[in-house]
Amino acid sequence: MTKKTPTNNTTHAVIYARVSNVKQTTQGSGLASQETRCREFARFRNYEIVKVFADDMSGSMTTRPGMVAMLAFLQAQKNKKHVVIVDDISRLARGLEAHLQLRAAIATAGGVLESPSIEFGEDSDSILVENLLASVSQHQRQKNAEQTKNRMRARAMNGYWVFPAPYGFKFERRSGEGKVLVRNEPLASVVQEALEGFATGRFQTQTEVKRFLERYHFFPKDLPNDEVSVQRVTNILTRVLYAGYLELPNWQVSLREGRHEGLIDFQTFQRIQQRLKQKSQAPYRKNSNKDFPLRGFVTCGECEKPMTSSTSTGAMGTRHFYYMCFSKGCSSYRKSIRRDQIEREFDELLGTLQPTRSLFAVAHEFFKTLWSHRLGVSKQAKQHIKADIAKTEKQITGLLDRIVDASSESVVAAYEKRIDQLEKEKLVLSEQARQVGKPVRGFDECFRTAMMFLSNPQKIWRSGKMEYQRLVLRLGFQQQVPYYRGEGFRTAVPAVPFQLIQRLNANQEGENMSFMKMAHRGRFELPTP
């Protein structure tokens, strides 16, 4: 085959170089090596290099920033022919279709394609060799992709995560294992608190989780104004990876225990999934924020409808905040009450829930005794769990035998669905068996928040954090609290623990409580008459 010798108007040349990804640009020297070889070729041919274009993306794509810029440059200089030099045919494209499209686009823009590795020509033999090489390049790309996927799938089947580390994790190289996910602090603790908070009801909605994450400047934001999208929150709440497990349905990798330590346990993950399927008990409203923390919880004492809120701006530009009843027909309809007044009286109401130090000490000892008792019976509980695991395994084996004998696809699908459910139940039981009798945290750490809440809900309310205030509302009272104009919170019904505390407080004020002690385990003997 004969290569055409460029005429005088093709002595100007441009170089096009390409690597497969950004990592090869930042950590490798592929682009520089290609450019060096192309410049050497240009000197040999006595070409003047006027510009260099480069890309760091897959060769299967035709629309690339560097390629688009080069075609635009050639089009603008169409009155002056340019040679386009590529190091190898695979640098132009890694697919036959993409190669032909770019080949035609370069020719239309007035470029002449050349390479130190191959002679491009317009005769049938040259075109055949060129197309064969482009097809081989495409086959190599597809084969590499298949091999990479197969290796990644095999590693995933062994319990290793093979994709970029999600928020809260990072990769750490371990001897004999390669890269393994480990906690990435302080992000891991934030994600863990968000997950556990949603599971326990501290955060009632995904929007509350979103606002919690946005408080931390180091948590990655994906929306303008430093906001986190609800979709990102959903991805975090539904990712089983955070429970220490791994599942890739698209690669036929079923749920299995991962080789990394999760941020939460599998039971907590299951509770999160159940809560996601349920209707939220406290839907988020745009004006249900720190300006009106009692909105939707305080009701009008006259009509028992939830109070709404409003703001007004005075002549001097000062904002005023109000709660009011918007229920038509109510005697308090559109009669506003200053926010400061209602919230001050509610703060005083919380103060009545606070127990005395002696009663708090009794509650603390009660929880500690119960804690010790639960640890003592853990061995017996572990035996029951092992029996349940054996029973579940027997059910799975029975269903597998039925699948072998089944001929209906719908029946097989039903069996497979039931097996999947039993496998998840087995995972929960196995996790319980490992954890029973081995508390992750000590008594003081586990009960710190609960005891703090019982000892002084007023202090938690005054923290000003929206999620803590909503927690006080949900756990401090049995129902919504009615507010009567001129009378205040007259008939508030505290939660059962606080009702007991109020009774004991009343008794303690009226008589000596020194006789109160923790009851001993065992029988109670009535006094003999």
Output the pLDDT for position 8: 46
Q: What is the pTM of this model?
A: 0.53
Rounded Cα distance between 461 and 346, Å, is 10
pLDDT at 444 over 90: no
pLDDT confidence band for 134 (50 / 70 / 90): confident
The pLDDT score that the predictor gives to residue 183 is 93
Phi–psi pair at 179, nearest 5 degrees: -85, 125
What's the pLDDT at 195?
93
Cα 445–Cα 459–Cα 439 angle in degrees, nearest 5: 10
Q: Are 45 and 37 in contact (CB under 8 A)?
A: no
Beta-sheet pairing, 111-114 with 178-183: unpaired
527: pLDDT strictly greater than 60: no
Phi/psi for 268 (5° steps) reads -60, -40
Q: Which segments of 158-249 does DSSP mark as H helices, in order?
A: 187-200, 206-214, 230-237
Distance (Å, whole) CA 124 – CA 126: 6
Range in 210-214, 248-252, 398-402 with the lowest mean pLDDT: 398-402
Backbone angles phi, psi at 173, to 5 degrees: -80, 130
Cβ atoms of 181 and 171 closer than 8 Å: yes
Name the phi and psi angles at 508, rounded to 5: -65, -35
Is residue 138 predicted with pLDDT exceeding 90? no
Each residue's pLDDT tens digit, 145-193: 888 888 889 999 999 999 999 999 999 998 888 899 999 988 999 999 9
pLDDT exceeds cutoff 70 at 73:
yes
Q: How far apart are CA 138 and CA 1, in angstroms?
A: 24
DSSP calls for 59-109: TT-S--HHHHHHHHHHHHTTTS-EEEEESSHHHH-SSHHHHHHHHHHHHHT
DSSP tag of 325: B
**Could you tell me if 60 and 93 are in contact, meaning their C-beta atoms sit under 8 angstroms apart?**
yes
Highest mean pLDDT among 88-97, 175-184, 281-290: 175-184
Kindly give, in sequence order, each residue whose CB lies less than 8 Å from that of residue 186, ignoring residues fewer than 6 positions away: 216, 218
- The answer on pLDDT for 368 being more than 90 is no
**Tokens (6 digits) for 468:** 């803590």
pLDDT (mean) for 94-113: 86
Q: What is the pLDDT of residue 25?
A: 59
Q: Is the dihedral of CA 85, 91, 96, 102 positive or negative?
A: negative
Structure-token pair, residue 516: 């109160």
The residue with greater pLDDT, 397 or 370, is 397
The phi, psi pair for 261, rounded to 5°, reads: -90, 130
Cα within 13 Å of Cα(246), Cβ side: 23
- pLDDT confidence tier of residue 90, bands split at 50, 70 and 90: confident
Which segment of 49-63, 104-118, 227-241, 455-469 scores lowest on mean pLDDT? 455-469
DSSP assignment string, 285-311? -TT-STT-TTTTTEEETTT-PBPEEEE
CA distance linking residue 447 with residue 449, whole number of Å: 6
Residue count of the chain = 529
Cβ count within 10 A of residue 457:
25
Give residue 95's pLDDT: 79
Report how far residue 459's alpha carbon sits from residue 465's, in angstroms, rounded to the nearest whole number.
11
**What per-residue confidence (pLDDT) applies to 238?**
94
* 286-301 tens-digit pLDDT: 444 677 888 888 888 8
Q: Which has more pLDDT, 437 or 310? A: 310
If one compares 59 and 214, the residue with the highest pLDDT of the two is 214
Per-residue DSSP letter, 333: B
What does the pLDDT read at residue 521?
46
Q: How confident is the model at residue 477 (pLDDT cuts 50, 70, 90)?
A: confident
Q: Which residue has the higher pLDDT, 128 or 43?
A: 43
What backbone torsions phi and psi does residue 235 show, to the nearest 5 degrees?
A: -60, -40
Structure tokens at 189: 């603790």
| Residue 242 pLDDT level (bands cut at 50, 70, 90) | very high
DSSP 366-424: HHHHHHHHHHHTHHHHHHHHHHHHHHHHHHHHHHHHHHHH---HHHHHHHHHHHHHHHH
Q: Helix, strand or coil for residue 164? A: coil
Instruction: State the pLDDT at residue 454.
Output: 74
Across residues 129-144, what is the average pLDDT? 81
Compute the average pLDDT of residues 83-92: 87
Cis peptide before 186 (omega within 30 of 0): yes
pLDDT of 232 higher than 90: yes
Average pLDDT score over the chain: 80
Report the interhelical angle of 187-200 vs 266-277 (nearest 10°): 60
pLDDT recorded at residue 180:
93
Report whether pLDDT(480) > 90. no
